[in-house]
Amino acid sequence: MNLIIDVGNTLVKLAIFENDEIIIKKTIVNESILDALKAIKNDFKAVNHAILSTVGKLDTETIKVIKTLFDLLILSSEIKLPFISLYETPKTLGVDRIALVCASVKQFKNTNVLIIDAGTCITYDFINTNNEYLGGAISPGLGVRYKSLNTLTANLPLLDVEMPEGIIGKSTSASIHSGVVYGVLKEIDGVIEEYKQKYSDLTVILTGGDSNFLSKQLKSSIFATPNFLLVGLNYILQFNSNE
């Protein structure tokens, strides 16, 4: 069994895989990470190998304790990966993006794949049929767009994400929903169309916290897979354990 530890800015996602199947998955606050991991160590004796992916802050002492609990692999651009990276600044490539590309290699081998991760940021990552990762794009996510309108202007309110009733907003709130949500939808559909112009046999993956909300509204044919990043992390751990 493999343990996946995905540390964000405020939350940690934990998952236990048996081969390629998720046995258990939970989300906790960062402050509870050691208690949760000690409980997993006690309850799941077969879990020995673990991978740590962190885009948030995890102090050195906490990492040292985790290493005493499990045989730990820390994800970075320097470990062995199952694809060829043509990214010009590999050390600045986010570990979350690395994991997503690895998931595409696992599930869609030798395929042109565009992975769209709709979370705090919307990231676009492309890997081709030659198993070459070319790069992609980063833009603000839904929540960031709502917050920026509130914090960078004097009078616009902070709203929760909501599907607008139509393209024409008949109030300030409705106008914000229209601008933000349709802006994101049109962006994603437009990016997909640009890739399809060059790669007609394109497979598109949509994942991330806002994937369920967005997938119902997009015109393009996509695969919506909320656990895609966890699958990628598990595959990286498998790939390095077999070396």
Task: Kindly report the average pLDDT of the chain as a whole number.
Answer: 94
Kindly report the CATH number assigned to the domain that includes residue 39. 3.30.420.40
Q: 35 a known binding residue?
A: no
The tally of CA atoms less than 13 A away on the side-chain side of residue 63 is 15
Number of domains in the chain: 2
Residue 139: count of CB within 10 angstroms of its CB? 15
For residue 239, being part of any structural domain is answered with: no
Based on the domain organization, do 108 and 202 belong to the same domain? yes
For residue 108, being part of any structural domain is answered with: yes
Work out the average pLDDT over 53-79.
91
Catalytic sites, residue numbers: 96
pLDDT digits (tens, 9 = 90+) for 152-197: 999 999 999 999 999 999 999 999 999 999 999 999 999 999 999 9
Residue 50's domain comprises 2-74
Based on the domain organization, do 122 and 209 belong to the same domain? yes
Based on the domain organization, do 144 and 40 belong to the same domain? no
For residue 125, being part of any structural domain is answered with: yes
Q: 95 a known binding residue?
A: yes
For residue 240, being part of any structural domain is answered with: no
What does the pLDDT read at residue 226? 83
For residue 243, being part of any structural domain is answered with: no
The domain boundary, picked from 74, 98, 121, lies at: 74
For residue 193, being part of any structural domain is answered with: yes
The domain boundary, picked from 47, 74, 101, lies at: 74
Based on the domain organization, do 41 and 109 belong to the same domain? no
Based on the domain organization, do 45 and 93 belong to the same domain? no
Q: 92 a known binding residue?
A: no
pLDDT at residue 31 greater than cutoff 80: yes
Q: 96 a known binding residue?
A: yes
Based on the domain organization, do 46 and 91 belong to the same domain? no
What does the pLDDT read at residue 111? 96
Based on the domain organization, do 96 and 176 belong to the same domain? yes
Based on the domain organization, do 88 and 57 belong to the same domain? no
The domain boundary, picked from 49, 74, 99, lies at: 74
pLDDT at residue 56 greater than cutoff 90: no
Work out the average pLDDT over 96-106.
96
For residue 79, being part of any structural domain is answered with: no
For residue 242, being part of any structural domain is answered with: no
pLDDT digits (tens, 9 = 90+) for 68-81: 999 999 999 899 99
